Amino acid sequence: MPISVFTLAALLIALHVGRYVVMAGGAYLVFWKWKSNPVTKTRRLQHAAFTSEDLRREVLLSLLTAVLFGSFFAVVYGGQTPRPLVYSGLWGALEFCAWLLLVLVVHDTFFYWSHRLSHHRALFRHAHRVHHLSRNPSPFAALAFHPLDAFVQIIWAVPLGMLLPIPSSVWLAFAFVAMFINVLGHCGVELYPRSWATHPVLGWLNSASAHDQHHLKLERNFGLYFTFWDRVCGTAERVASVALEGATASGVVELLHRPEERAENAADDLDQHQRRDDHRHRDGEEAHRAQ
Ligand SMILES: [Zn+2]
Ligand SMILES: [Zn+2]
């Protein structure tokens, strides 16, 4: 039976808000409100405390993103008969895992390239800069995006959902896996053992350290779930020596600027990085012509 746009919007907004509140709120309670948590003491990524201004902005923007996500998919899929939750037969659990992995790989690829593009100096100030107001992100920053940025981040799912018969249960599982990894990347502590960074299989998983470095340095570690595209494209920052050693690491920083100043600094940092790249490129071309 077709499901109306409004019913679907209510369900999807509840789903997106619910997964955000439970996972980001849970991570915040466990790592930052539980004062004697030994993990937070030994494996935090930055010394700077979250200001109430940061937390308020991250929560409000994230709730706006969650509502936008739910409304968008309700408009796209409202009035249609829902896909079966699972397809019986075939390979059962194996099929489920294969679909889930495919969706994660496609999203990771789309995210890497759209994220990298959003850092272009002509675009950064207009949307993605808002996410980088959090230079020391808390778990609540997981969905803290400008609405335009949020829209770009879900558009990929529409052609994929229309072209392939992906069961609804896979999309549901994906929604929770994606949020879990996203919160992990912003939780401010590194939970992975140090050996994972150089492990032949587990080293392909993106880490909180890697994403934390992205918030600090902007031009590195654009990936979401995996390190594949960062490694292939030379944008991976080796972080084992910094974040995986926790609070004693040399890379731990104090950031005392106000959020607006941080974003301006971030935009300036980006300009400087890109100007340096332009110079390097020009010097390379001149050297080439001189030969
Ligand atoms: Zn982030
Ligand atoms: Zn970014």
**264 pLDDT more than 60:** no
Amino acid at 259: P
> How far is the centre of ligand 2, averaged over its atoms, from the C-alpha of 5 (Å)?
32
Closest to 243 measured CA to CA, from 171, 182, 194, 187: 194
> How far is the centre of ligand 2, averaged over its atoms, from the C-alpha of 107 (Å)?
16
Closest to 249 measured CA to CA, from 203, 216, 220: 216
Asked if 137 and 58 touch (Cβ cutoff 8 Å), the reply is yes
Tell me what the mean pLDDT of segment 18-38 comes to.
95
| Ligand with smallest separation from the Cα of 211 | 1
Using pLDDT thresholds of 50, 70 and 90, give the confidence band for residue 158. very high
Q: Which residues 6+ apart lie within 8 Å of 267 measured at CB? A: 124, 125, 129
Tell me what the mean pLDDT of segment 98-106 comes to.
96
Instruction: Report the predicted TM-score, pTM, of the whole model to 2 decimal places.
Output: 0.81
Q: Residue 251 has what pLDDT?
A: 36
Higher pLDDT, 70 or 251: 70
**245 pLDDT more than 50:** no
> How far is the centre of ligand 2, averaged over its atoms, from the C-alpha of 214 (Å)?
6
> How far is the centre of ligand 2, averaged over its atoms, from the C-alpha of 259 (Å)?
15
d(CA 48, CA 274): 27
Higher pLDDT, 261 or 131: 131
Q: Residue 286 has what pLDDT?
A: 61
Using pLDDT thresholds of 50, 70 and 90, give the confidence band for residue 53. very high
> How far is the centre of ligand 1, averaged over its atoms, from the C-alpha of 162 (Å)?
29
**238 pLDDT more than 80:** no
What would the pLDDT profile of 161-192 be if each residue is shown by its tens digit? 989 988 888 999 999 999 999 999 999 999 98
| Ligand with smallest separation from the Cα of 185 | 1
Q: Angle at CA 112, nearest 5°, toward 111 and 117? A: 95
| Ligand with smallest separation from the Cα of 123 | 2
> How far is the centre of ligand 2, averaged over its atoms, from the C-alpha of 42 (Å)?
26
> How far is the centre of ligand 1, averaged over its atoms, from the C-alpha of 140 (Å)?
10
Which has the minimum average pLDDT: 36-50, 116-130, 194-208, 247-261? 247-261
Q: Residue 85 has what pLDDT?
A: 64
Which has the minimum average pLDDT: 31-40, 138-147, 259-268? 259-268
SS3 182: helix
> How far is the centre of ligand 2, averaged over its atoms, from the C-alpha of 72 (Å)?
23
Tell me what the mean pLDDT of segment 38-51 comes to.
85
Average pLDDT, the chain: 84
Tell me what the mean pLDDT of segment 223-233 comes to.
95
What would the pLDDT profile of 246-260 be if each residue is shown by its tens digit? 433 333 333 333 344
H helices of 119-166, in order, are 121-124, 147-155, 157-163
| Ligand with smallest separation from the Cα of 222 | 2
> How far is the centre of ligand 1, averaged over its atoms, from the C-alpha of 172 (Å)?
22
**289 pLDDT more than 90:** no
d(CA 32, CA 40): 7
d(CA 289, CA 211): 39
> How far is the centre of ligand 2, averaged over its atoms, from the C-alpha of 61 (Å)?
16
Q: Tell me, letter by letter, the H, E, C secondary structure of 57-119.
A: HHHHHHHHHHHHHHHHHHHHHCCCCCCCCCCCCCCCHHHHHHHHHHHHHHHHHHHHHHHHHHC
d(CA 227, CA 287): 33
Which range of 86-95, 221-230, 236-245 scores highest in mean pLDDT? It is 221-230
> How far is the centre of ligand 1, averaged over its atoms, from the C-alpha of 168 (Å)?
27
Domain boundaries, the chain: 5-290
Q: What is the DSSP letter of 226?
A: B
**287 pLDDT more than 60:** no
**241 pLDDT more than 60:** no
* Main-chain dihedrals φ then ψ at residue 226, nearest 5 degrees: -125, 165
Buried residues in 263-279 as b, exposed as e (16+ CB within 10 A): beebbebbeebbeeeee
